[in-house]
Structures are given as C-alpha cells and as structure tokens.
Amino acid sequence: DAGVIQSPRHEVTEMGQEVTLRCKPISGHNSLFWYRQTMMRGLELLIYFNNNVPIDDSGMPEDRFSAKMPNASFSTLKIQPSEPRDSAVYFCAISFSLGNQPQHFGDGTRLSIL
C-alpha cells in the first residue's frame, strides 16, 4: 500500500458523459502526479502539483481534461465530455519531498468509454 487511494477502481460510461476520477493521498507528501497508461502510448504524465499548486499541465491532452487539488488530501481529474479514446488506466502518484524523489503510485482507475 503506497498510501494513495484512488476511486473508482473501474468506470464504464458512454461517450459524452462527464467522468471524475479521485485521488486521496496520505499526509506528508509534497507532490501529486496524474498519469495515463495505454498500450499504445505507455505511461504519460498529465499534470502534477507541488503543495497543491499546479506546476506542469503540458501533458493534459485537451481542454476536455481538467485537474484540481483543493487541499493536500484530495485531487480530482475530470474529463468532460468523454470520448472512447480516453479509455485507459489513470494513475495518481505522490512523492514526499520536492526535487527528484521516488514516486509512489495508487492502484489506478480503469476507465472505459463506450
């Protein structure tokens, strides 16, 4: 257990619907990362936060994607409207200090858009 709780674990929805993925990290971390994993593109960083502030969102694919971190213990990744090509496993990861440090992943959300 890396101390990162993601929900839901699985989500199946129809295209056009809004999807919200959630991440609850344990206390003590400084940074939070959102990744997307697909067979074709591998593990891609979407966005990361330092001390709840977005630092780099250059990996967010389109304006349909948005992420927030209202406090140190909660973050969301939202897709609106969703499309079939958004189907992937989405991981949240944390690290415990600034600078180059190990990242610890949650169990991920498997998202299927029909």
Q: Which residues sit at the interface with another protein, rule CB under 8 A?
A: 2, 31, 33, 42-45, 48, 50, 55-56, 91, 95, 98-108
Q: Minimum distance from CB of 18 to another protein (Å)?
A: 25
Query: What would the DSSP string read from start to end of the chain?
Result: --SEEEE-SEEEE-TTS-EEEEEEEPTT--EEEEEEEETTTEEEEEEEEETTEEEE-TT--STTEEEEEEETTEEEEEESS--GGG-EEEEEEEESSSSS---EE---EEEEE-
Q: Minimum distance from CB of 113 to another protein (Å)?
A: 19
Which residue, 18 or 103, is less far from another protein as judged by CB?
A: 103
